[in-house]
Structure 1
Amino acid sequence: MDSRTVADAGEDALVAHVLAALGAPRSPDVLVPAGDDAAVLATGGAVVVSTDTLVAGVDFREDWSSGREVGRKTVVQVLADVAAMGARPTGLVVSLAAPGHLPLAWAEELAAGLREEVAAAGADVLGGDVAESPVAVVTGTGLGVLDGPAPAVTRAGARPGDLVVLGPMPGRPLGASAAGLAVLGAGPGVLEGLLRDPDAEVVEAVRLCLAAHRAPAVDHAAGARARAAGATAMIDVSDGLVRDATRLARASGVVLDLSAAALAAPAVLERVATALGEPAGTAGRWVLTSGEEHAMLATVGADATGLDGWRVVGTCRAAPDGAAPVLLDGEDVRRRVGGAGGWTHYGRRPGRDDGREVP
């Protein structure tokens, strides 16, 4: 393993190492790949663009997540917003700002994680930039294409009578990211103890939740499939189910009435909460407020088809004046979770339930 820092290598060598780790482009849409002044991408439909930033100490911690995991999470976060418009992801531009003492090996791991996750999405890393910074900051800009004539799926199209559906989450339940963060936040001694627990089911649950937080597995094509199936509105669950459902409900002018039975905490989250000594109801709160899940939350007509792997979690209602935007079995869900029900920058300092890495 290369023991140099990024300052030891210098800018040009750092870029060369990252490009080598990314490998050759896979998509025929890429006409000029990363390495020139700009990439060139062929598109056959309307282009969808979104950007996201991960900051060390706010969105990830280098002692909790490897460079590879941060790379994968960067792709997931950015392309989930592209997918939420119903687009097919095609590419990603990534910038790394980092202190000179950052190990070069960490940057190479970051590039490897980017490569792995864009390959899973059927896309490519198209280029980016490097710069010096007091802390590591990774910014990704994702590109996608709307195949076919249907318009983009926005947050504003839900109608009374629509079903509320949650997209596939490969190998993990909603809320696992917050559970993984709670394990990490409990300290290295607690983590080591949990991983040595004599109950194999507890160890398996902890490992699943750690993986879900550090680099969540997602179905990158879910948004495009929902658009093809006639989704009326859609959003990426990045800041918590309640918070993002509230955004969709307000944009559409409807009330989302979620089902407590459909969103009951699964056994894997209950095991982790119990192992951590958390109070009753914590696992259920994780389901409703966990950030960085990156599942698709959508609304569809009651007769929609072609949504294999999606599950119904509620219904849309008309919104009378003064109505709460999101209900849980007919009652204001904010009474259950308190506040906004998820992560918010520049607001209250988040607790462990918010699903974001904080010092």
Structure 2
Amino acid sequence: MAKLFSPINFKNVTLKNRIVMAPMCMYSCSEEDGKVTPFHVTHYTSRAVGQVGLIMLEATAVQPEGRISSQDLGIWDDDHVEGLTNLNHQIHHYGSKTAIQLAHAGRKAQLDSNIFAPSALAFNDSYKTPQQMTVEDIKETIEAFKAASKRAKQANFDIIELHAAHGYLINQFLSPLTNKREDSYGGNRKNRYRLLEEIISAVKQAWNGPLFVRISTDEYAEGGNSLDDFVYFSRRMRDQGIELIDCSSGGVVPASISVYPGYQIPRCETIRKEANISTGAVGLITTGVQAEEIVQNERADLVFLARALLRDPYWPRTAAAELNEKLSAPKQYERGW
């Protein structure tokens, strides 16, 4: 059997294969209430029918001011739980596991309301200047992640991922490019890690399932975190019980990035080996052969697909054909597959 189609365990959760639908903003909430819409049900469930092992929802805001846009999904209120529960029921029906990416946009929130960040630095000239968070603001945000985790459990998610990448709030605290604080949440890398450390601790009080974290492993700017810093952060996360590091890159500050197939994988592989933690590879992974090489050579444990799954909801079937692997079809589709 191709390793891409072999099961893998994270705590009490078994994924039937190593294929993950990566979180992608859909900007599809019809109102500013952050609730699940018919589009979300169709979008995510179709990939479960297509036999993706893990379906991860888009960045879902833990506070209203933490939305990337006013069309984002939310989990800051108990009213969000019903729609998320129903969505999970649909996805689970087809044998996929579900994850939710808990997020706070920080200074990259494009909202009419006030926005917040570790330091009062705008992302660029087109973005608002955020308010520097007080310690009380920080504590409220940590509690919001905890409350969101409790709701995720009520909604029957299998896995939670914390969004600490792409220049959003947690990433802003981690990076010396965006964190200019002089208190216990700024300065050296131990202090810059403090917010994520406290969020993980708080989340684990409400959540006992597998916990992933997405990080940007390259900031593409002088003075940013080095790969050594990310190995340090990953070891800290491992010691806190994080199951997997989802290794993306960029988004911290405006930067020109040269992309090519598998461009983020070397750093993913280094973190996996040097921090002794499971990793997920993401970024221009498009073919079954490419994905199989990644997991066979133990460069990562999971393969996260984004645009490839937008183009082909049944990408696992396409990959199985490339790898001469027989993939069981949903009963309704057996005649076609």
Fold similarity call, TM over 0.5: no
Richer in strand (by share) = 1
Larger relative CO (CA 8 A, sep 6+): 1 or 2? 1
Larger Rg: 1
Length-normalised TM-score, structure 1:
0.24
